[in-house]
């Protein structure tokens, strides 16, 4: 493991997904999935998200589109929250979700908007 890349990835992962979520994922790791958690932190978050080639905001919008296309609602919700933290505006997020509906199909768009509404409602209520 590249310790520097891991630490960089850990910081970015916590910044985007939230410290509580990341700490829970790492602290709940078992012998079976610990290496996977390290791999995701080092390569996905340190190597990919840690690159300066794209802004975090752009990466968030890309992730939303890919996760919707792959029908991964739990990850979509997590990354929708991250997109807000990364500075995506409501207009930008709406545009991404509309593009999802056109290119991935209406059901994907419906699900994306449903999840987005849930997250936005929770944020308004302060939960």
Per-residue DSSP letter, 53: S
Cα 112 to Cα 117: distance, rounded to the nearest angstrom: 9
Which band of pLDDT confidence, cut at 50, 70 and 90, is reported for residue 1?
Answer: confident
Residue ranges covered by each domain of the chain: 3-48, 56-125
Percent of the chain with pLDDT over 90: 95
Q: What is the mean pLDDT of the chain?
A: 95
**pTM of structure:** 0.90
Give the residue-averaged pLDDT of 28-34. Answer: 95
Cα 45 to Cα 25: distance, rounded to the nearest angstrom: 14
Residue 67 has, within 13 A of its CA and on its CB side, a CA count of 21
Cα 6 to Cα 95: distance, rounded to the nearest angstrom: 33
Percent of the chain with pLDDT over 70: 99
Sign of CA dihedral 102, 108, 110, 111: negative
113-116 contact pairs (CB < 8 A, 24+): 115/73, 115/76, 115/77, 115/80, 116/80
The pLDDT value recorded for residue 49 is 96
- Give the CATH number of domain 56-125: 1.20.1290.10
Which band of pLDDT confidence, cut at 50, 70 and 90, is reported for residue 127?
Answer: low
Give the residue-averaged pLDDT of 5-14. Answer: 96
Interval 61-90: pLDDT, tens = 999 999 999 999 999 999 999 999 999 999
Give the residue-averaged pLDDT of 88-107. Answer: 97
Give the residue-averaged pLDDT of 13-34. Answer: 95
């Amino acid at each position: 493991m590249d310790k520097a890349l891991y630490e960089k990835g850990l910081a970015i992962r916590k910044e985007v997904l939230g410290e509580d979520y990341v700490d829970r994922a790492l602290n709940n790791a078992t012998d079976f999935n610990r290496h996977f958690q390290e791999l995701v932190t080092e390569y996905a978050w340190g190597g990919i998200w840690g690159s300066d080639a794209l802004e975090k905001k752009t990466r968030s919008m890309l992730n939303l589109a890919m996760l919707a296309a792959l029908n991964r609602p739990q990850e979509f919700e997590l990354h929708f929250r991250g997109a807000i933290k990364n500075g995506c505006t409501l207009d930008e997020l709406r545009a991404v979700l509309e593009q999802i509906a056109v290119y991935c199909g209406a059901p994907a768009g419906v699900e994306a908007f449903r999840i987005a509404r849930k997250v936005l409602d929770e944020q308004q209520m302060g939960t």
